[in-house]
Amino acid sequence: MVFVVGNSRSGTTMMGRILGKHPRVYTFGELHFFGQLCAPPFSSEVGKVEIEKLASQLYCIQQEGYRTHGNPHRFLSEARTFLERLTTYPETQATLFETFLHHIAADNGRTIPCDQTPRNVFYIPDILQLYPKARIINMIRDPRDVLLSQKRKWKRRFLGGSDMPMKETFRDWINYHPITISYIWRTALTAAEQFLQHERVISIYFEELLAHPEATVKRLCNFVGITYMPAMLQVPQVGSSVADDQPQQLGINPHRAHSWQDGELSSAEIYLNQTITAAFMKKHNYNPVSIRPNIASLALHLLTFPVKLVGAFLLNLDRMKSIRQTLKRRFLNVPCG
């Protein structure tokens, strides 16, 4: 099993597409199993009803998309059929997830399932403990590029994501604030920090992937245990927040790096981002620029922060199985058992 993790908008989707080009790997969408569909402890036994409900949720998200899926109850019959055919019935949430991933991968003629949910970066210790053979790919990207991508994320509806519900577009707009986005980038890197030298975890810089795609993917294949194939680099150029989708254009676009320098971030946004992420920027060789923020813009961001924070919290309640544990992991980096 392969898990692609990292701060959102750090290249996790692109990495998932690259791996999915390999004949042995099946890449899922963002399943959000950990934290949203179920809360820890993931290895505790649960009843048949809960297992069936969780399986139907997984089927729904996999088939209809994480951000566009409808009512999971419609997949209950399919989930029950899947469970009834198993030789060993899964008694825990973690076992069900592993069984589901391998089942769908096998149905598609692949042997290695790949989950590309970014926020799993906050569940690295759980994944390593639950799945001894799992490999984790941690994506890292310049926080200013992440900030720009998050700022423009709500525009995905008009850049090729035409199936995006208006609720999701509004959620993306509410979620954006330079302080929030910068802080989450910092906590995501903090969550992965203790595993940077772990034998089953590899960190890939988005900028390195764009500048040296072949060398980077070869190193990645060696880590996963698969043979490199040139076709892995022929991924469609879609999903960007700063440019229209070009599904007919294949390959890795090197110009997606350093987009923040094009001027769409204000001086106040850059200042706040660099201030909050300074320590990790230095550690990961992202050089800050000397900048004097516009005072009026800076004051506006500080004043709107509480409003945006409350709005984001309310709009994301449905994405937290356990509010307390989610907040501890994502904002305080406190593992929850």
Summarised one tens digit per residue, pLDDT across range 267-283 is 999 999 999 999 999 99
Distance of CA 51 to the CA centre of its chain: 24
Q: Which of 61, 55, 91, 62 is nearest to 76 (CA)?
A: 55
Domain membership of residue 337 (yes or no) is no
Q: Residues 114-131: pLDDT tens digits?
A: 999 999 999 999 999 999
The string of pLDDT tens digits covering residues 180-189 is 999 999 999 9
Enter the DSSP assignment of 113. E
Q: Are strands 135-140 and 112-115 parallel, antiparallel or unpaired?
A: unpaired
Is 117 within a domain? yes
pLDDT above 80 (res 158): no
In a domain, 322, yes or no: yes
Percent of the chain with pLDDT over 90: 67
336 belongs to a structural domain: no
* Domains contained in the chain, number: 1
**CATH number, domain containing residue 230:** 3.40.50.300
pLDDT digits (tens, 9 = 90+) for 275-307: 999 999 999 999 999 999 999 999 999 999 999
Written as six digits, the tokens of 275 are 């201030």
Instruction: Please check whether residue 25 is in contact with residue 321, taking contact to mean a CB–CB distance below 8 angstroms.
Output: no
- Average confidence (pLDDT) over 16-29: 95
Whether 139 is covered by a domain: the verdict is yes
Is residue 264 in a domain? yes
- Domain extent, residue 129, equals 2-331
Is 213 a domain residue?
Answer: yes
Compute the average pLDDT of residues 194-219. 95
In a domain? residue 218: yes
CA angle (241 as vertex; 36, 34 as ends), nearest 5 = 15
Treating both helix axes as pointing N-terminal to C-terminal, what angle do 267-283 and 178-193 enclose, rounded to 10 degrees? Answer: 10
pLDDT of residue 157: 56
Predicted pLDDT of residue 185: 95
